[in-house]
Structure 1
Amino acid sequence: MGVDPYKNFRFLVEIDGIVQASFSEASGYGSDIEVVEFREGGDSATMRKLPGKVSYSDITLKRGITDSHELYDWHLAAVSGQIQRKNGSIIILDDTGTEKIRWNFFSAWPSKWHGPDLNSTGKDVAIESLTISCERLERALS
């Protein structure tokens, strides 16, 4: 009997010092290892590949804009040169709301904030977007 995969709409985001928040989208998080190619002397036909530096993608968070301005204030501090690095987590929940998978990110700071697109004929929720840059990301072992 197989295990059903978790649904992509049951998740939370926690950021140190900022209230745990529900977002409509969390995307972009991941890691890449640079591939360094070189040719060994005497073997001109084969390229060797070694791992290079590791980099972590920016995380984009989207949510309906509310009266809360904690995330915007965090970004505004960065705009004024006061980078406040925070750790956080992206958490997948099962159908009962129990935590199942957690990705922890470290030394993150808000590098972009975008306000909602507004349209006088629209009926959608006004969505704000925050992009955070982190120095490390790892899946927590459960």
Structure 2
Amino acid sequence: MADDGSQQSNVWPLPKFSFQVTWGSQVAVFQEVSGLDMEAPVIEYRRGDNPAFSTIKMPGVKKYGNITMKKGIFKSDPKLWDWFNQIKMNTTKRVTVTISLLDEAGKPTMIWTLANAWPTKISGTDLKAEGNEVVIESIEVAHEGLTIANAC
């Protein structure tokens, strides 16, 4: 469809394939990031003297899901394993993780910020003698808060 000037050029949805992840001073390129969600569970309540035989619903305490990130393994690149190995005797280094959705020029358009993030699970790859896929590792990150900002 030809652009006759009746539709603005900024009304198209953003593509999701160009993004960048930083934690602390580290920058990493991932193939996939998933789990950017938060939830306010429903609390049902009924007063004892309420004449209606039903409950009311109200929002509970917010909960944040863990973030899973997957990337290809490169020679001499143990950043994720080094971060995971910092867990010692129930303590770990917590960092701010920033996930930025990039536009065509490589500038952030949306930014998800994870507060007090730390790795909770890391997975290597499966190995197959007959396979020809890229070697992928994944890391699962727990955090204590998710904020979203538009960098328009």
The answer, yes or no, to whether TM exceeds 0.5 is yes
Partner of 1:9: 17
2:96 & 2:51 partners in 1: Cα distance? 46
CA distance in 1, matches of 2:91, 2:44: 39
User: Structure 1 residue 58 and structure 2 residue 66: aligned?
Assistant: yes
In the other structure, the counterpart of 2:123 is 114
Quick one: which of 52, 59, 65 aligns to 1:44?
52
**CA-CA distance at 1:141 after TM superposition:** 4.2
Out of 102, 108, 116, the residue aligned to residue 111 of structure 2 is 102
Corresponding position: 1:128 with 2:114? no
Q: Which deviates the most, 6-15 or 126-135?
A: 6-15
How far is 1:43 from its partner?
A: 3.0
The 1:82/1:38 distance shift into structure 2, 3 A limit, reads: closer
The residue type equivalent to 1:33 in the other structure is A
TM-score, normalisation: structure 2: 0.86
SS of the equivalent of 1:73 reads: helix
The equivalent of 1:83 in structure 2 is 92
Match of 1:35 among 31, 35, 42: 42
Structure with greater strand percent:
1
CA radius of gyration, larger in: 2
* Greater shift in the superposed pair: 87-96 or 76-85: 76-85
Residue 78 of structure 1: SS of its match in structure 2?
coil
SS at match of 2:60: strand
Unpaired runs of 5+ residues, structure 1, are none
Q: Give the drift of 1:127.
A: 0.3
Q: 1:50-81: CA deviations, max 9, x gaps?
A: 11111111000000011211211111122654
Percent identity reads 33
TM-score (norm 1): 0.92
Mapped to 1, the partners of 2:67 and 2:78 lie a distance apart of: 19
CA offset digits 1:74-107 (Å, max 9, x no partner): 1112265441100011110112222100000010
